[in-house]
Amino acid sequence: MEGFQEELVSALREVVSNSHWQCVGEKRSFKATCTKLFSEDGEHLVLIHTTDDKFYAMDSSCPHEGGPLEQGDIEELCDGRLALTCPWHYFEFCLDDGSSSTGLQNQVYEVKVYEGKVYIQTQNALSLTPWKETPCTVSVNSEPAAISQGSDAESTLSYWACKILSTADPQEKVKLTQHVQTLWESGKISEIGQMEPPAQPQRKENLIIVQPGRIKRGKGGTLSSRIALLHSMANIEQWAIDLSWDIIARFAHFRLCTGETLPRDFFSDFVKVAGDEAKHYSLLEKRLAELDSNFGALPVHNGLWQSAADTAHDLLGRLAIVHMVHEARGLDVHPQTMQRFSTQGDDSSVRILEVIYTDEITHVAAGLKWFTYICGKEQRDCLSTFHELVPLYFKGYLKPPFNTEGRRSAGMSEEWYLTLVKPS
C-alpha cells in the first residue's frame, strides 16, 4: 500500500507539472493593482488585481513599443470591459482577452485563486524578483585602432563618425552629418580609417533623462499628446543618427572569416542612413517649433542605446537587432501612428511621417542586405543565423501585428520573423 501511495503522489505531481499551473503567492500579498512577475524566459508578466477582487494576467511588455504595462492604469471601456492602459502611448488592452481597439493583441494567461493562493497557467517559472543573469562582457575595442600609415586622421570617415558621436548638440550633429555625407559622396573623403568610437554618444546637459518606463506619450488625441509623440520620435531619430555613425566607426576594421574587409558600399549605405535620420530629426524639430514647443522640452530616455552596447562586438548581431528588429518594428507601428495624427487633421505631421516611413523601409533593406551579404560570404544560413541572434540580444518575443506589406517592401518575408513570435 505504501508503494502504491508513493506512485500515486508521483503521478499526481506529474499531472500538476504538465498542467503548467504555478502558485505565485498568497492572495493577501497582491494588494496593489498591478504586480510585475519576472519570467524565467525574459517574457515577464503583470498580475492585475481589480477592485471587484478578480485577478488577471498578461505580458508586461506592451506589444506596441515595449512599454511597462505594470505601470499602467485600469480603465473601464465604453462597452463596460476593463482594460490596462500602457503609460507610454496609452494603448489599452482588455483584461479578459488582451485585445485592443488599436488592433494590437497582448498575450493573456488564465488565473485562479484557490485556498487563498494565486495560480497562473504558464510554462515558464515565475518570480517576484528578477532572475539572476550571467553577466555579458561586451568588448568595445579596449585600445584605439591605429589610423592607416600615411593617412590624415581628419580625412577619414571614421574620424568624422567619432566626431559626430561626440557632438552633444543635435542641431550641430545634423549639420555635421549632412556635411560629411556631401564630402563622402563627392569623394573628398575617400578613406575609411580606424578610430575608437566613444562608448556612448554625447547629449546636451539640459536634457532631462529618465528611465524609459517613466516617459508618458499620448495617443495623439490632443495637441499636448501629439507634441509628446513628435518629441519622442525626435529623440529616436537623434539616436538613429548615432547608431548609423557608430556602426561605421566601430566596424571599420571588421574582417570576414575569409579575411576580406567590408566593401565601400557598406559604408556608403550607412552614410546615407545617417543622412536620412538627420533629415528626419530636422523635420520633427521644425514641426515641434511650429507647435510652440522644442526638443528638450520633455524628458527623454537613453534606452535605445542598449542594443548598440549589447552588439558592440558583433556586426551580424547589430544588423539583426537594430535594423531588422527595431527598425522593422517602426514599420509595424507607422500606419496606426499616422492615423492618430490624420484623425486630428494634423496634415503637416502626417507628411513628415510619410517621409520617415519611406526612408525607414530602405534602412531595414540596408540591414537585410548586409546581413545576407556577410552570411553568404561566411557560408552561413541566413535565416537560422538570424533566428539564433535575435533571442541572444533581444529579450522576449517579436509581437504582432506586423506590417507585412512594409516589411515585404524592405525584402523581409514572413519566414524571417514569424518563427520568433511567442507560441499561442
Which domains are delineated in the chain? 20-127 (2.102.10.10), 153-420 (no CATH)
C-alpha torsion angle, residues 262, 268, 270, 273 (rounded to 10): -160
How many CB atoms are located within 10 Å of the residue 374 CB? 20
pLDDT in the model for residue 10: 57
* Per-residue pLDDT at 352: 97
Give backbone dihedrals phi and psi of 105, rounded to 5 degrees, phi first: -140, 130
pLDDT score at 35: 93
pLDDT tier at 144, thresholds 50, 70, 90: very low
Q: Please give the single-letter amino acid code of residue 34.
A: C
- Quick check: 142 pLDDT over 50? no
Please name the residue ranges forming H helices in 32-169: 157-165
Rounded Cα distance between 314 and 322, Å, is 12
> Does the pLDDT of residue 74 top 60, yes or no?
yes
Q: Quick one: pLDDT band at residue 128, thresholds 50, 70, 90?
A: confident
pLDDT at 369 over 80: yes
Kindly state the cell numbers that stand for 49. 488585481
Q: Which distant-in-sequence residues (6+ apart) come within 8 Å of 181 by Cβ?
A: 271, 272, 274, 275
End-to-end, the C-alpha distance of the chain in Å comes to 42
pLDDT score at 61: 85
| Sheet-wide strand order for 82-85 | 73-76, 82-85, 92-94
Confidence of residue 3 (pLDDT cuts 50, 70, 90): low
Cα–Cα distance between 166 and 164 in angstroms, integer?
5
Question: What pLDDT was estimated at residue 15?
Answer: 47
Least confident of 211-220, 323-332, 356-365, 386-395: 211-220
Q: What is the pLDDT of residues 27-53, one digit of tens each?
A: 998 989 999 998 876 778 999 999 999
Query: Which residues is 35 bridged to in the sheet?
Result: 47
pTM listed for this prediction: 0.70
Lowest mean pLDDT among 76-85, 149-158, 187-196: 149-158
